[in-house]
Structure 1
Amino acid sequence: MDQTTLNIIVVGLSFALYFGIAIWARAGSTSEFYAAGRGVNPVVNGMATAADWMSAASFISMAGLIAFSGYTNSLFLMGWTGGYVLMAMLLAPYLRKFGKYTVPEFIGDRYYSNTARVVAVVSLIVISVTYVIGQMTGAGVAFSRFLEVESTTGLFIASAVVFVYAVLGGMKGITYTQVAQYVVLIIAYTIPAVFISLQLTGNPIPGLGLFSTMAEGQVGAGQHLLVTLDGLLTDLGFNEYTAGTNAWLMALYTLSLMIGTAGLPHVIIRFFTVPKVADARWSAGWALVFIALLYLTAPAVGAMARLNITTQFWPEGIQGEAVSLETIENDDAYDWMATWQATGLLGWEDKNGDGRIQYYNDANADMQALAAERGWAGNELTNFNRDILVLANPEIANLPGWVVALIAAGGIAAALSTAAGLLLAISSAISHDLIKSVINPNISERGELLAARISMAGAIVLATYLGLNPPGFAAQVVALAFGLAAATLFPVLMMGIFSKRMNSAGATWGMLAGLISTCLYLFLYLGWFFIPGTNMLTADQYLFGIPPTHFGPIGAVFNFAVAYLVSNATAAPPKEIQDLVESVRIPRGAGAAINK
């Protein structure tokens, strides 16, 4: 059986499972559509939360970023994991006590203001649409390779699949679909990593293999894997894999990812689906366990993938011969290059006409001298999209076809699971918080459910359009969403829970300050509405050297400062609101907010 047919069978079976679950768990009421009827078991919810959390950025793009930047991009692991702990401890249980369906509903009721609610809806839509671009991009990459179509076609296929099961099932269907997707993605991520770790180091546990010595018959046999990788990269003029970077910017980026994580609406709403407050805490604990299974493996996947791609072109280091075009055409070990080239995500060019592909850092002064001596005309691996690395890794390592098909299903599951959660957050905000709470309070439950499904369909169309021209790799696009969440929703949620003095005016102006300052900074550097070529400023003009992806904490400071100043200059919240806030923070308090 050829690889494409095997891919279609494995991926098709996973789709059949998702569609079957969506039909079985179809939402018949707004409670089921928004919160799965508040009847989800904590272990099940923990697994669904992990799937919702481990998006295309985690499965597809994170290891690729780590592979090409090494230690520097380990901040994704630290920021995302630390942020989840922050959310689980400081936000999720308290928000569950309010017994609401959505984040804007909590903000609207806590700050007794429809204006605050609408600003929260706008913030949520901006965050979620930005985030979902990365998911659709990742899904398009996976579909394009394994169905051997253009990445644009892959994006359209991904949109159609999400449309069917997300619009049909709502939160109830999405929850159980995400459980299945978690099982698929964790198996798909782990099995290839085990194979490759055994192949390179003889150690079946990837996390331990990362710190093991290279096996006999491998490049650098007997030497530690990271030492071998550092040596190969420096030979080619690249930085060492384990080299550090600007500590200030790393800390700022990590903080942006942490507090952005804690403010992500599509993850927070998962804690509204459990029966009681204690279950929200247990859900968080189980989710951390399930997330750790992938995150402890990701650094090894990144390092081993970079080692494999490097040795594919320079099997004997800088003194060896580059791979020739003739080799690529005739050697089965290079078949993966031809198939990925068809997607437009991998490309090479024989610049000096010697029939070979030279892969090196042509910006390095030492390599420029060597290139002149050997008659090279520059790095001839002209296009290597980082998002393909994890998906291509089993093919690069020449693993069995069923492993390649499995990782195809896993990558698609990761992208679709998070996309569905984000689309539900957008849909709920529009139908429940905008239409039901502000525009038409008398709308029937049937009408609200219809509005929710129409809103989700519209969100899918918008996400697909924006996914055609994303402003970066999947993980980078996601990082922008985290910065927006950090600057808008995280501060207002924290103040809403832990400050009785924070009033509606402070919350509203604080959110606007965080949203406007962060959006302006992003759009100035990335282009208005992420249109390529429309950026007005360049990297050397960054404010205090801060890149757009790192700006979240600065926006959060603006939010907190403006909220504090405005709140203290205006009237305190009504006493019933202050009592409500106090009751939420007290384990055995009383009132309508307790354990609904």
Structure 2
Amino acid sequence: MSQFTLNLIFIGASFALYIGIAIWARAGSTAEFYAANRGVSPVMNGMATAADWMSAASFISMAGLIAFTGYDNSTYLMGWTGGYVLLALLLAPYLRKFGKFTVPEFIGDRFYSQTARIIGVVCLLIISITYVIGQMTGVGVTFSRYLEVSTSTGLWIGAALVFVYAVLGGMKGITYTQVAQYVVLIVAYTIPAVFIALQLTGNVLPQLGLFGTHEESGVKMLAKLDQVVTDLGFKSYTGHHNSTLDMVLFTLALMIGTAGLPHVIIRFFTVPKVSDARSSAGWALVFIALLYTVAPAVGAMARFNLTATMWSGASTGAEAGSTFSAPAVSLERIETAPELAWMRNWQVTGLLNWEDKNGDGLIQYYNDKAEPGEALATVIADQNLQGNELPVVNNDIMVLANPEIANLPGWVIGIVAAGGLAAALSTAAGLLLAISGAVSHDLIKGWLAPNISEKNELMAARIAMGVSILVATLLGLNPPGFAAQTVALAFGLAASSIFPVLMMGIFSTRINRQGAIWGMLAGIISTLVYIFLYKGWFFIAGTNMLEDTAANWLFGISPASFGTIGALINFAVAYLVSNATEEPPVEVVELVESIRIPRGAGAANGH
């Protein structure tokens, strides 16, 4: 059976499962569409939350970023998992106790302001659309390879699927679909990781293999990887090379951004009790850890396999790890060798490419952007190398290509294809639900047409979701970076806008509507301006005004890290404005205290 047929079987079977669940769990009311009628158990909600949050960035792109950067990109792991601790302790139970359907609804009621609610909607839309672009990017990458179509065609196929099961099922259908998608993605991520860990280190657990011994050389796996990449002029894999300030700010942006993501927060509105919200966050962290503890091993082994594959196809007689030759594979072998079929397959997508710059019939792989070591410099001179001849290796392909590079069975490759799509589609559905809820429940029901019937509100929610899918797909055709990089920008926007206003809304009785409004505006506008100065892409005619390099960043702070600064600006502006204006009404103070302090707590403690 051909690999294409296997891919179709696994992808088609998973799609049939998702659509079947959506039909079975079709939402018939707004309560089911927005919050699954608040009847989801904590364990199931934790699994659905894990799938909702572990997106294309987690499954496809994160290990690729770690593969090509190493230790410095462990910030993704630390920030994203740490954010769930904040969410469980500081936000989830209190927001569930408030008992509303959407984040902007809480903002509007807590800050007794329709304007604050609308600004909350705008912030939610900006965050969610940016985030969903990263998911559609992952969908396009996966489809382009495994269904052998263009990236743009893959995007439209994925959009059509999401439209069917998300529009039909709402939160009720999406919840059960995400449980199935979690099972698919965790199996798809773990099986090839186990295979590759056994190949390279003899360990069945990838987590142990990362710190184990490379079987062929007898050297520790990470030490071997450091030797390989530094010999080729790359920075050491385990070393810290970037700005410590930026690393800290980026980690914080991911943490507080996670705690402020609207599509994650609304998952905690689906459980029966307040205590279940905290339990759900704990279970979600357990399910997330099953993938996140494997990701560093996947990234490291993917990087090693890429380089070793180039050496294994070498016609120069060099051995992997030699300091006397850059990896080189002949063009003839690339075009004919079965073990290099993965290169031919991924070249078609445009996400992998090579060029014989010096015309010697070989493709040499090394870092031509850094000062090479003495041995590599000699090779460059002797062989008249004109630069790295494998310049295009998209980060987003590493997890998907890893099973092919390692020559794993075809059924493993088919499972990985289904898993990558499950990760991207599960998060896309959650985001689109958050968007549609904000439009139908907060803008239409809460502002434009307060007397709209439940039937028409449900229809408006489905129409809003359909339009959102179309917009996200169009923007996904030209994303501002890799899937994880695009998602990181969304976390920065959530950190600078939603997280501060929720924290102040729950834990401060002094912050008033003026403070909340001006704080949100200051936070998200400052972050957007900083991002667009370096990333361009959206409002500025597709071009950035400043070169996106560390040398040009303000105090060395990258666009993805600026969300932490935006959050501080939000807190500061809200505090200053609130203290310069009138205090909130008494009933609002009582509302805040009722959310945070259980009834009878004072009497029970003698106060």
Q: Which residue of 1 aligns with 2:151?
A: 151
Using the TM superposition, give the Cα deviation of residue 355 of structure 1 relative to its aligned residue in structure 2, in angstroms: 1.0
In the alignment, is residue 319 of structure 1 matched against residue 307 of structure 2?
A: no
Shift of 1:545: 1.8
Distance (Å, rounded) in 2 between the aligned partners of 1:504 and 1:536: 35
Counterpart of 2:248 in structure 1 is 251
Q: What does residue range 346-385 of structure 1 map to in structure 2 within 5 Å?
A: 346-366=352-372, 367=376, 370-385=379-394
- TM-superposition CA deviations, 1:351-392 (whole Å, max 9, x none): 111111100001222245531221111111121111000000
Distance 1:353 1:439 in 2: 66
Cα drift, residue 265 of structure 1: 0.3
Structure 1: distance between partners of 2:423 and 2:539: 24
Q: Trace 1:84-483 onto structure 2 (pairs within 5 A).
A: 84-215=84-215, 218=216, 221-245=217-241, 246-315=243-312, 316=319, 317=321, 318-320=323-325, 322-366=328-372, 367=376, 370-483=379-492
Contact in 1 for aligned 2:245/2:557 (Cα 8 Å): no
Output one character per residue of 1:373-421: Cα deviation in whole Å (capped at 9) or x when no partner.
Answer: 2111111112111100000000000000000000000000000000000
Bigger drift between 362-371 and 125-134 goes to 362-371
The one-letter amino acid of 1:258's match is M
The whole-number CA distance in structure 2 between the counterparts of 1:365 and 1:494 is: 48
2:531 aligned residue (522, 537, 544): 522
Q: 1:147 to 1:351 in 2, by over 3 A?
A: same
Match of 1:101, SS?
coil
Q: Give the match for residue 33 of structure 2.
A: 33
Contact 1:230 1:241 in 2 (8 A): yes
Query: Could you tell me whether the CA contact under 8 Å between 2:324 and 2:379 is conserved in 1?
Result: no
Distance (Å, rounded) in 2 between the aligned partners of 1:342 and 1:134:
21
Partner of 2:47: 47
1:530 Cα deviation from its structure 2 partner: 6.2
Alpha-carbon separation, structure 2, partners of 1:182 and 1:127 = 23
Preserved CA contact (<8 Å) 1:150 1:344: no
Amino acid at match of 2:331: L
For normalisation by structure 2, the TM-score amounts to: 0.95
Contact 1:134 1:474 in 2 (8 A): yes
Report if aligned partners of 1:347, 1:381 keep a CA contact under 8 Å in 2: yes
Bigger drift between 563-572 and 312-321 goes to 312-321
Q: Deviations over 1:69-124 (max 9, x none)?
A: 00000000000000111011100000000000000000011111100000000000
Residues in 2 aligned to 1:437 and 1:73: alpha-carbon distance in whole angstroms: 42
The answer for the alignment partner of 1:541 in structure 2 is 552
Worse overlay, 362-371 or 102-111: 362-371
Q: What SS does structure 2 have at the residue aligned with 1:144?
A: helix
* Alignment check: 8 A CA contact 2:27 2:172 kept: yes
In 2: Cα distance, 1:575 partner to 1:18 partner: 48
TM-aligned CA distance change 1:406 to 1:71, over 3 Å: same
What is residue 577 of structure 2 aligned with on the other side? 566
Among the aligned pairs, what percent are the same residue? 72
Structure 2 gaps of 5+ residues are: 313-318, 602-607
Q: Does structure 2 conserve the Cα–Cα contact (< 8 Å) formed by 1:271 and 1:283?
A: yes
115-124 or 345-354, larger mean C-alpha shift: 345-354
Cα deviation 1:505-525 (Å, max 9, x = unaligned): 110110010111111111111
Q: Which amino acid aligns with 1:358?
A: Q
Is this contact kept in 2: 1:500–1:578, CA < 8 A?
A: yes
Q: TM-score, normalised by structure 1?
A: 0.97
Between the aligned partners of 1:284 and 1:507, the Cα distance in structure 2 is: 26
Moved more, 375-384 or 93-102: 375-384
Instruction: Name the CA shift for 1:332/1:530 in 2 (closer, same or farther; >3 Å).
Output: farther
Go from structure 1 to structure 2 and tell me whether the alpha carbon gap of 1:528 and 1:185 turns closer, same or farther (over 3 Å shift): closer
Query: How far did residue 588 of structure 1 move?
Result: 3.5
- 1:471/1:530 contact within 8 Å kept: no
Q: Secondary structure at the match of 2:143?
A: helix
Aligned residue-pair number: 586
For the residue of structure 2 that corresponds to 1:357, the secondary structure is: strand
Corresponding position of 1:593: none
Matched residue, 1:58: 58
CA–CA separation in structure 2 for the residues paired with 1:85 and 1:517? 27
Q: Distance in 2 between matches of 1:102 and 1:352?
A: 59
User: Which runs of no fewer than 5 residues in structure 1 stay unpaired?
Assistant: 591-596
Indicate conservation of the 8 Å contact 2:480/2:537, yes or no.
no
Native 8 Å contact 1:149 1:342 kept in 2: no
